[in-house]
A and B are shown apart, each in its own frame.
Chain A
Amino acid sequence: MKRVMKEFTGGSAFLSILAVIASLVVGGILIALSSPEVQSTATYLTARPSDFFQALWNSVFGAYDAMFRGAIFNYKAQDTLQMIKPITETLAYATPITMSGLGLAVAFRSGLFNIGATGQIIFGAMFAGWVGIYVDLPWYVHFPLAVLAGVLGGGLFGALVGFLKATTGANEVIVTIMFNYIAVLLLGYLLKTPILQAPGAVNPISPPVKDSAKYVFFLGDQFRLHGGVFAMIIAVVFTWWLLNRSTLGFRFRALGHNPNAAKVAGINIGLTYILVMGISGALSGLAGTSQILGSEQVLTLGVAASYGFDAITVALLGRSNPWGVLVAGLLFGGLRAGAVTMQANQGVPVDIVLVVQSLIVLFIAAPPLVRAIFRVKVSKEVAA
């Protein structure tokens, strides 16, 4: 029994949980420090400490309680539907983050640092949006076509980076950063011209996507969760298969481990760069379709939100392992959904989520630090 316990506490899953706890504690400290009640009761701390601790508990518990009710289960809601709504919100947020995170994971595993998820999401959304808005077809053709267009849009934009790297050796970090700016500006331009702007609109906004191109809202219209969540699962399985079971994925990983060795082994490096970036971009393009054909349904400048950068963190947190990316994406989706409720109910700025998210990644990335904080001993079996 002792040994089982030891193995558990030394294991990485346990350490991950500790990392999350440590991050929430730090977040809690920040929440408490910023609470006016805590500040005012602290001035007479020695006279009546109970007030202080009461305020402390209220601020921290109140915030995390709101976060739980916003992300997982709202036990204070009137009916069952409202009670389970939070978990669907979490899934809705997690969908694009995970999809795009998978794309970045493919690139990272192949040794390419793709920072261009934002641009690739935008390209996916533009292509899918254009098909979804202007093409008239029955849904069983229209919807797949729109999704395909989005995947193709993101994929081509990503592949272009791979092409430049393959033919000229251009550094993919610079190129993807520049492409993000270019994509945002191009979207801005198209939303001001009749190509994408809604007729009569003053703002940069497109007409809505036709119903026949939308993801199915299988829980009804009052939920934001849509069929993209199934596309996400398929994407996870596909990426897992691609990276771990396919020949192509083997080439990708070989490239990531040692490009020179891969070249000597007869792998066409240039073509592999193009394929890696193409697939990476295609998954971000899929995230774009989830936005435009699902959650948003009209194209605006904010279509990619901050998902492009969240995706980097998610891919890194998931250690570029598709299942890990899924877990990380769900965690981040939950934090994001919860933060919205937390801000509305408790007045805690949503930015606290950024702090908690980044601390989680830092702590998980450095197990010795977490062990030191919680004074967990390393068991010999695990350490060896």
Chain B
Amino acid sequence: MKQSKRTPIALLVMALVGLWLFISAPSGVTMINISTDSDIFKLPDFALNVALICGLAVAVQIAGLLVSGYLVLAKNHKTPRWVVIMFAVALVAEILIGLFAGKTMTFTSLLQGSLALAVPLIFGSLAGVLSERVGVVNIAIEGQLLAGAFVSALVTSLSHNLLAGLIGAMIAGALVAWVLAVFAIKYVVDQIIVGVVLNVLVVGLTNFIFSTLMVSNLPLYDQPDRYSNILIPVLGQIPVLGPVLFNQTLIVYLMYIAVGVVYFVLFKTRWGLRVRAVGEYPKAADTVGINVFRTRYISVMIGGALAGLGGSFFTLGQVGAFGKEMTNGAGYIALAALIFGRWNPIYAAFAALLFGFAENLQYGLAIIGSSVPSEFLLMLPYALTVVAVAGLVGKVTGPAASGKAYIKS
């Protein structure tokens, strides 16, 4: 079989972007600051020569392109994954160094911000994984996140109890998922329709209650307490990694656990096998005595609860108040991350991190002021996603029965 040329073509496109960045990169140095106050030992700031690093990065990219091109065109092999990863690392490093030329990049806080933006996306994509693996397309991630954000803000404000808010968020997310499940499973309605409509419904309901109830007394209804960071001893004091990964709020730690647990349960337990069987071939699953409907309800609702949890991160973890439509499309990005990550919780989490990183980059650059028009910087993550999806991921196939209602005969 002839290998598709799309990977080398995608690499070529990206290498051209890299080359353009190299040519237009200003001369000078980029200061990198990676130490924070809590570190055990301090690493000094260091300076990197922009032209040198960008040149090296472009060299790596061209090497990767040549390897990929040679293998695919001459040898009819696939492009090895490490080549793609090396290429991507070089491009990202180049973008970072080039954009921060002449400025100081606080690397640690850049990563912290990325993780913060990625948390709801990761929870959202987990919800999608659990739902789609069992055969129910979940477009309603956005609604589940928003419901979680809203209820957690309301409940925490009223009760002054963060745990109550957290549980409220999970219930809210699970409730949206339940409606999705009822319409998809019991009433056999097109799952995409229900998902899209549920998003509108949650936006409508939360906006309505926000403008009629919350606005009338914001201190009472919309001033929840916020999570404080929990520093994990020793781990949290490692430079760079510590402050990014182990000095976080409870929700972030729950996110680590959730990714691991969802992966383990889906791929290593009997229940997970059943879930996947129902999502691939419900009739066969039914024949061997698996309760298709019950499995679908449970998996979809657990997913919804996780998305609700992720939604609470907007209000309890970050902003500290609910705002109209504050999830702002995160659910759709989570959906993209889930497809990008091929319906695998861990890959999806990494894809979500990538989106978080790209989104955070904009804020970092907006603060230091960069020479490139901000719109194009903002566009970069979305454009590169398209190139990546088209070139590197290509045709992905989800669970076979995803989106199809099961009618027991």
A349, chain B: closest CB distance, angstroms? 4
Are B183 and A181 interface neighbours, CB within 8 A? no
Are B208 and A355 interface neighbours, CB within 8 A? yes
Are A171 and B339 interface neighbours, CB within 8 A? yes
Are B196 and A312 interface neighbours, CB within 8 A? yes
Q: How far is the CA of A186 from the CA of B209 in the complex (A)?
A: 34
B333 interfacial contact with A, CB 8 Å:
yes
Residues of chain B lying within 8 A (CB to CB) of residue A312: 196
B264 interfacial contact with A, CB 8 Å:
no
Give which listed residue, A34, A174, A178, A316, contacts B197 with CB less than 8 A. A316
Are B375 and A189 interface neighbours, CB within 8 A? yes
A361 interfacial contact with B, CB 8 Å:
yes
A269, chain B: closest CB distance, angstroms? 12
Q: How far is the CA of A181 from the CA of B379 in the complex (A)?
A: 7
Q: How far is the CA of A351 from the CA of B201 in the complex (A)?
A: 10
Are A174 and B211 interface neighbours, CB within 8 A? no
Residues of chain B lying within 8 A (CB to CB) of residue A357: 200, 204
Residues of chain B lying within 8 A (CB to CB) of residue A366: 183, 187, 189
In chain B, residues 370-386, which have Cβ atoms closer than 8 Å to a Cβ of chain A?
373, 375-376, 378-379, 382-383, 385-386
- Of A14-22, A148-156, A162-170, the one contacting chain B is A162-170
Are B383 and A182 interface neighbours, CB within 8 A? yes
Are A351 and B211 interface neighbours, CB within 8 A? yes
A359 interfacial contact with B, CB 8 Å:
yes
In chain B, residues 173-218, which have Cβ atoms closer than 8 Å to a Cβ of chain A?
183, 187, 189-190, 192-194, 196-198, 200-201, 203-205, 207-209, 211-213
A42 interfacial contact with B, CB 8 Å:
no
Q: How far is the CA of A353 from the CA of B192 in the complex (A)?
A: 21
In chain A, residues 302-356, which have Cβ atoms closer than 8 Å to a Cβ of chain B?
309, 312-313, 316, 349, 351-356
Are A174 and B336 interface neighbours, CB within 8 A? yes
Are A358 and B204 interface neighbours, CB within 8 A? yes
Given A170-B390, A178-B336, A349-B207, A313-B196 contact (CB < 8 Å):
yes
Given A178-B383, A185-B375, A355-B205 contact (CB < 8 Å):
yes
Q: How far is the CA of A192 from the CA of B393 in the complex (A)?
A: 35
B389 interfacial contact with A, CB 8 Å:
yes
B340 interfacial contact with A, CB 8 Å:
yes
B191, chain A: closest CB distance, angstroms? 11
A188 interfacial contact with B, CB 8 Å:
yes
Are B197 and A175 interface neighbours, CB within 8 A? no
Residues of chain A lying within 8 A (CB to CB) of residue B207: 349, 351, 354
Q: Which residue of B lies closest to A310 (CB)?
A: B200
Interface size class on chain A is 35 or more
Are B204 and A362 interface neighbours, CB within 8 A? no
Size of B's binding interface in residues, CB under 8 A: 45
Are A359 and B389 interface neighbours, CB within 8 A? no
Residues of chain A lying within 8 A (CB to CB) of residue B333: 177
Q: Which residue of A lies closest to B376 (CB)?
A: A189
A186, chain B: closest CB distance, angstroms? 7
Residues of chain A lying within 8 A (CB to CB) of residue B375: 185-186, 188-189, 192
Binary contact readout B385-396 vs A (1 if CB under 8 angstroms, 0 otherwise) = 110011101111
Binary contact readout A185-198 vs B (1 if CB under 8 angstroms, 0 otherwise) = 11011001000000
Given A177-B332, A177-B336, A365-B189, A170-B201 contact (CB < 8 Å):
no
Are B376 and A365 interface neighbours, CB within 8 A? no
B335 interfacial contact with A, CB 8 Å:
yes
Binary contact readout A348-384 vs B (1 if CB under 8 angstroms, 0 otherwise) = 0101111111110110011011000000000000000
Are B183 and A365 interface neighbours, CB within 8 A? yes
Binary contact readout B342-357 vs A (1 if CB under 8 angstroms, 0 otherwise) = 0000000000000000
B339, chain A: closest CB distance, angstroms? 5
Q: How far is the CA of A164 from the CA of B212 in the complex (A)?
A: 45
Q: How far is the CA of A132 from the CA of B154 in the complex (A)?
A: 48
B217, chain A: closest CB distance, angstroms? 13
Residues of chain A lying within 8 A (CB to CB) of residue B390: 164, 167-168, 170, 175
Q: Which residue of B lies closest to A368 (CB)?
A: B187
Given A167-B6, A178-B336, A365-B190, A353-B204 contact (CB < 8 Å):
yes
Q: How far is the CA of A353 from the CA of B201 in the complex (A)?
A: 9
In chain A, residues 265-323, which have Cβ atoms closer than 8 Å to a Cβ of chain B?
309, 312-313, 316
Residues of chain B lying within 8 A (CB to CB) of residue A182: 379, 382-383, 386
B306, chain A: closest CB distance, angstroms? 21
Q: Which residue of A lies closest to B179 (CB)?
A: A362
Q: How far is the CA of A6 from the CA of B396 in the complex (A)?
A: 48
A337, chain B: closest CB distance, angstroms? 17
Q: Which of A34, A171, A313, A368 counts the most chain B CB atoms within 10 A? A: A171
Q: How far is the CA of A237 from the CA of B207 in the complex (A)?
A: 37
Residues of chain A lying within 8 A (CB to CB) of residue B379: 181-182, 185-186
Q: Which of B212, B213, B332, B373 counts the most chain A CB atoms within 10 A? A: B212
Residues of chain B lying within 8 A (CB to CB) of residue A30: 208
A167, chain B: closest CB distance, angstroms? 7
A115 interfacial contact with B, CB 8 Å:
yes
A367, chain B: closest CB distance, angstroms? 8
Q: Which of B6, B183, B189, B395 counts the most chain A CB atoms within 10 A? A: B189
Are A316 and B196 interface neighbours, CB within 8 A? yes
Residues of chain B lying within 8 A (CB to CB) of residue A351: 203-204, 207-208, 211
Q: Which residue of A lies closest to B379 (CB)?
A: A185
Interface residues of A (CB under 8 A from B): 30, 34, 113, 115, 164, 167-171, 173-175, 177-179, 181-182, 185-186, 188-189, 192, 309, 312-313, 316, 349, 351-359, 361-362, 365-366, 368-369
Shortest 5 CB-CB contacts between residues of A and residues of B: A169-B395, A354-B204, A351-B207, A358-B201, A366-B187
17 A/B residue pairs, CB under 8 Å, sorted by A: A34-B212, A167-B390, A168-B390, A170-B393, A173-B335, A173-B339, A178-B336, A192-B375, A316-B190, A354-B204, A354-B208, A356-B204, A358-B201, A361-B193, A365-B197, A366-B183, A368-B187
- Given A312-B196, A365-B194, 4 other A-B residues pairs in contact with their CB atoms under 8 A: A174-B339, A316-B196, A352-B208, A358-B197
